[in-house]
Amino acid sequence: MTARRPVRVLAPREEAGRITRRALLGGFAVVGAASVLGCGRDTSLAATASPDGDLEGRVNVYSWGDYEAPKNLRRFSRRTGVTVQVDAFGSNEEMIAKLGASRGTSGYDVIVPTGQFVPMMAANDLLVPLDHDLLPNMKHLDPQIVDPSWDPGNEFTVPKAWGTTGFAYDTQKIDSRPTSWQDFLDLASGQAAGSVSLLDDPWEVCSIYFAANGIDPNTTDEADLDAAQDFLVGTLAPEVRAYSSNPTQSIVQSELALIQAYNGDARWGILESDDPDRWRWVYPTPTANLWIDTWAIATGAQHIDSAHAFINYMLDPKVSMRELDWNGYPTGVAGLEAKAEEWELELTDMIFPPTEVTERLTAAELTDAQDRLTDILQRMQAAA
């Protein structure tokens, strides 16, 4: 965890110490998620408690590091009498491996998988269908973000937070005005050579090449993957100084010139910088990557009513606004953009991408190419 100094432009309304949503993502896809579990369903997993309307005295949450606003956790406990225990994982693979190995006895109730992993988790009986009758606050969700292709009808999940990927650049080191992923690659071998940071995420890194060349970022075509490997390992890798899914401090300290980042994390870095005006944020064309983190209930959950009550509480608009203020990402609850303006949050365009960006968002998919993407990233890191 990084210690937060006072922020000149913006500070959350509560605790100063925190890490960003993806701060622990360094272990992403060390092994392809499809390899973590077998493809078949395993019906021997421990049974999940049945809802009966009475809240249990505890709920165990397994989430990304420091992803929930502490004030919300405290208020939920005071309101319900339910003790909230939160443990952190560093990647979807880590979470999935733990749930799979425990065979329904992990002890966790509420978990936070990223959307593209949900179908595989459901197929392997790691998730319990949600009882929508216990989630009346689903009515507050934006219709545009419910009923995703990877979870029709929100059978297993509801949105927790969503965001996209772009890049930040230092205008004191780069004098052009890049707008595309091709511009990013040109700068990486030009003005920003040797001063580039990439996300430690195979899909996100490979998507740079695919986007710049008009290729679907979820491609499984071997020719596309071969071409991506040749360019990324042979041309881009020598110019990369860091692979980090928490580049906030690199922005704060103005260490690097060109930084691939998640929008909310880049926003915190710019706001914490001594000279925010030197940084520019770009939602690059032609594609914009979309990730959605979700609330779900793990198979074997023993506090099923408290788990539903916790998720329902987090879907309350006031609670969701405190979550947004804490981690810098919209939750999927409608109307938060106007509320963010009322709260006078800075750089709201980095929280809520404009329409021209959301119209070209491309969601990540867990495909048969996952292991190959991981191998490409590992080759890049070895070549650095």
| Tens digit of each residue's pLDDT (9 = 90 or more) over 262-315 | 999 899 999 999 999 999 999 999 988 999 999 999 999 999 999 999 999 999
Query: DSSP letter at 182?
Result: H
> Is 169 a member of any domain?
yes
In this prediction, residue 40 has a pLDDT band, given cuts at 50, 70 and 90, of very low
Q: Tell me the DSSP string of 15-50.
A: -S-B--TTTTGGGTTSS-HHHHS-SS--TTSPPPPP
The pLDDT of residue 24 is: 38
State whether 190 and 281 are in the same domain.
Answer: yes
Q: Tell me the DSSP string of 99-162.
A: HHHHTT-S---EE--BGGGHHHHHHTT-BPPP-GGG-GGGGGB-TTTSS-TTSGGGSSEEEEEE
> Is 2 a member of any domain?
no
> Is 191 a member of any domain?
yes
Kindly report the backbone phi and psi dihedral angles of residue 299, in degrees, each rounded to the nearest multiple of 5, phi listed first. Answer: -60, 135
More confident residue, 93 or 203: 203
State whether 305 and 185 are in the same domain.
Answer: no
> Is 348 a member of any domain?
yes
Token pair of 215, please? 């290729």
The pLDDT of residue 30 is: 32
Query: Alpha-carbon distance 269 to 246, whole Å?
Result: 10
Q: Tell me the DSSP string of 252-279.
A: HTT--SEEEEEHHHHHHHHHHSS-GGGE
State whether 150 and 241 are in the same domain.
Answer: no
Kindly report the backbone phi and psi dihedral angles of residue 129, in degrees, each rounded to the nearest multiple of 5, phi listed first. Answer: -55, 140
Query: Alpha-carbon distance 267 to 7, whole Å?
Result: 12
As for how many domains the chain has, the answer is: 2
The pLDDT of residue 384 is: 76
> Is 283 a member of any domain?
yes
From the number of C-beta atoms within 10 Å of its C-beta (0-12, 13-18, 19+), residue 382 rates as exposed
158-172 tens-digit pLDDT: 999 999 999 999 999
State whether 116 and 214 are in the same domain.
Answer: no
207-261 tens-digit pLDDT: 999 999 999 999 999 999 999 999 999 999 999 999 987 788 889 989 999 999 9
Query: In 3-state terms, what secondary structure has residue 183?
Result: helix
Is residue 8 over pLDDT 70? no
State whether 135 and 212 are in the same domain.
Answer: no
> Is 5 a member of any domain?
no
The pLDDT of residue 41 is: 41
100-156 tens-digit pLDDT: 999 889 999 999 999 999 999 999 999 999 999 999 999 999 998 999 999 999 999
The pLDDT of residue 50 is: 62
| Domain enclosing residue 135, as ranges | 25-36+54-162+290-357
The pLDDT of residue 173 is: 97
State whether 60 and 122 are in the same domain.
Answer: yes
Q: Tell me the DSSP string of 200-255.
A: S-HHHHHHHHHHHTT--TT---HHHHHHHHHHIIIIIGGGEEEE-S-THHHHHTT-
The pLDDT of residue 246 is: 75
More confident residue, 43 or 231: 231
From the number of C-beta atoms within 10 Å of its C-beta (0-12, 13-18, 19+), residue 11 rates as middle
In this prediction, residue 12 has a pLDDT band, given cuts at 50, 70 and 90, of very low
Identity of the amino acid at 224: D
In this prediction, residue 53 has a pLDDT band, given cuts at 50, 70 and 90, of low
CB-CB contact of 127 with 299 (8 Å):
yes
State whether 137 and 223 are in the same domain.
Answer: no
Both ends of the chain: CA-CA distance in Å? Answer: 26
In this prediction, residue 46 has a pLDDT band, given cuts at 50, 70 and 90, of low
CB-CB contact of 333 with 315 (8 Å):
yes
Write down the pTM of the prediction.
Answer: 0.82
> Is 41 a member of any domain?
no
State whether 263 and 157 are in the same domain.
Answer: no
Kindly report the backbone phi and psi dihedral angles of residue 115, in degrees, each rounded to the nearest multiple of 5, phi listed first. Answer: -50, -45
State whether 117 and 265 are in the same domain.
Answer: no
State whether 377 and 250 are in the same domain.
Answer: yes
The pLDDT of residue 43 is: 39
pLDDT > 90 fraction of the chain, expressed in percent and rounded: 76
Compute the 3-state secondary structure of the chain and give helix, strand, coil in percent, each to the nearest 5: 40, 20, 40
State whether 246 and 377 are in the same domain.
Answer: yes
Other CB atoms within a 10 A radius of the CB of residue 175 amount to: 7
More confident residue, 316 or 35: 316
The pLDDT of residue 49 is: 65
342-372 tens-digit pLDDT: 999 999 999 999 999 999 999 888 899 999 9
Token pair of 219, please? 């491609």
Considering only CA atoms, which of 250, 363, 209, 195 is closest in space to residue 23? 250
Is residue 3 over pLDDT 80? no
The pLDDT of residue 215 is: 97
Length of the chain: 384
State whether 145 and 227 are in the same domain.
Answer: no
> Is 48 a member of any domain?
no
The pLDDT of residue 288 is: 86
Domain harbouring 76, CATH code: 3.40.190.10
